[in-house]
Structure 1
Amino acid sequence: MILLSVNHLSKTFGGLKAVSDVNMELKIGELVGLIGPNGAGKTTLFNLLTGVYKPTDGDIVLRRETIVGLKPHQINQKGIARTFQNIRLFSNLTVMDNVKIAYHQHRSYNMLSAILRLPSYFHGEEEMDKKAERLLEIFKLGHKKDELAKNLPYGEQRRLEIARALAAQPQLLLLDEPAAGMNPQETAELMEMIRWVRKEFDLTILLIEHDMSLVMGICERIYVLDYGQIIAEGTPEQIKSNPKVIEAYLGEDVTHAHG
């Protein structure tokens, strides 16, 4: 079953077509890669999917319902969460609070209960604390829950960002270069974590990544974007041997991309 379909999507800034007539489909439970040279339009596409930008043309349909025109928080509530190329945590809040913020949109109490400090407020907060702690344990951050986010090492900040995205209880998770700045060991661990998260949380994942070993190792299908257009789509094997893709992006070193 199709979770998300992107139909003839375009975005123009002034005279520049950042995304041009893009068509994509994501099936429920798939792990799909989005690759291409710098400036190909990958992050612009993520910004369109999450409501940061409004498309110039085309449609984005999530579970048979258009999401074009909705604000980012509304799209998030409908089930799309993302991480960013440059980590965007609330750096002066604790690790725990970073995750709890994402849970708040699913809170079981209303604003009045919070203002009047009614029992439903305390019960709801306790429930959120438990959920947040469980999520932090999964991401091996439980022992750091009271630390400020900015004091975590880089790899742990990445994990916290993914944990926070999952706290929004999405069906589709968009990961924007999650391995950026990681060493090979951290990348290998991240790869395992993405696989596990997809299975455990029953997610569909779309991943932008430059690390070819990661993309080829975990993605079932890959879309290739160049100058804002999809130039290829297929399995890792098909993409590796596609002459158009080799010319536009992968170069001769594609034969060394393992996985």
Structure 2
Amino acid sequence: MEPLLKTSNLSKSFGGIKAVQDFNVYINSGELVGLIGPNGAGKTTAFNLLTGVYTPTTGNIEFNGHSLVGMKPYKITKQGIARTFQNIRLFDHLTVIDNVKIAYNYHIKYTLAEAILRVGRYGSEEEVVEKKAMELLEIFNLADKKDELAANLPYGQQRRLEIARALAAQPKLLLLDEPAAGMNPQETHELMEMISWIRKTFDLTILLIEHDMSLVMGICERIYVLEFGKILAQGIPDEIKSNTEVIKAYLGEEV
């Protein structure tokens, strides 16, 4: 069976700097895969390539049998890839529920004229979107915050809202960029359980960037390690833990 996502000799250069070089990865449908490495290794650049923020200098990205190279980010989202960001990017001055509802725009079928005049399919589809958004907020324990501005939420709740918004796009592949950043150990443990749960409940494939090794080793089935833009190693968590090159470059003596 073909992988859901496959990259071939993917590279990105900024002037003379090679941020990502020969990035060859595959992710099978239903997998939860980790992408780790030191700061500046090229992890977020890889995410930006996969989501159309950057155009590759060389190489190909194949998703669900189709090349994504040259596609705009919104078209890639419509193909079935959604992401969160290392630095939270919510619509701060919109309410919590509107942050989630806006992601459903990729799937609405009413026309611009129907929306302006509020006729035809507009009313019925908006009711469906409202209901689905509330269901996601219930899942992430944010239903009681639905009318609050996103900017007023505590950090941990903003992280949950960003994941909820990504799920509203109804992705096949979810990219999580350091979701545990800034969280305490208890919040990280709860996040780990949440990621495992949403993967199963929403039938998702997940690619995860994270520095918290307890989270990565606890939930990922396979792990890729980046160093200086290149894949240093790949394997199951136990193989990565014991890889001497990975220990030297990133993990240190204890994991």
TM-score (norm 1): 0.97
Name stretches of at least 5 consecutive residues in structure 1 with no aligned partner.
255-259
Note the alpha carbon deviations across 1:202-229, whole angstroms, 9 max, x for none. Answer: 0000000000000000000000000000
Q: Percent identity?
A: 70
**Aligned positions of 1:1-259 closer than 5 A:** 1=1, 2-254=3-255
Q: Distance in 2 between matches of 1:108 and 1:143?
A: 29
- SS of alignment partner, residue 59 of structure 2: strand
Name stretches of at least 5 consecutive residues in structure 2 with no aligned partner.
none
Give the C-alpha shift of residue 112 in structure 1: 1.6
Q: Distance in 2 between matches of 1:134 and 1:64?
A: 31
Give the C-alpha shift of residue 119 in structure 1: 3.4
Q: Distance in 2 between matches of 1:12 and 1:121?
A: 45
Could you tell me whether the CA contact under 8 Å between 2:38 and 2:250 is conserved in 1? Answer: yes
Could you tell me whether the CA contact under 8 Å between 2:56 and 2:69 is conserved in 1? Answer: yes
Note the alpha carbon deviations across 1:79-102, whole angstroms, 9 max, x for none. Answer: 000000000000111000000000
Give the C-alpha shift of residue 115 in structure 1: 1.8
Could you tell me whether the CA contact under 8 Å between 2:110 and 2:120 is conserved in 1? Answer: no
Q: Distance in 2 between matches of 1:66 and 1:47?
A: 15
2:56 maps to a residue whose letter is P
1:50 maps to a residue whose letter is T
Q: Distance in 1 between matches of 2:196 and 2:22?
A: 30
Could you tell me whether the CA contact under 8 Å between 2:36 and 2:224 is conserved in 1? Answer: yes
1:197 maps to a residue whose letter is I
Q: Distance in 2 between matches of 1:103 and 1:225?
A: 34
Note the alpha carbon deviations across 1:124-170, whole angstroms, 9 max, x for none. Answer: 11110001001100111111101110111111100000000000000
Q: Distance in 2 between matches of 1:224 and 1:204?
A: 19
Q: Distance in 2 between matches of 1:51 and 1:81?
A: 11
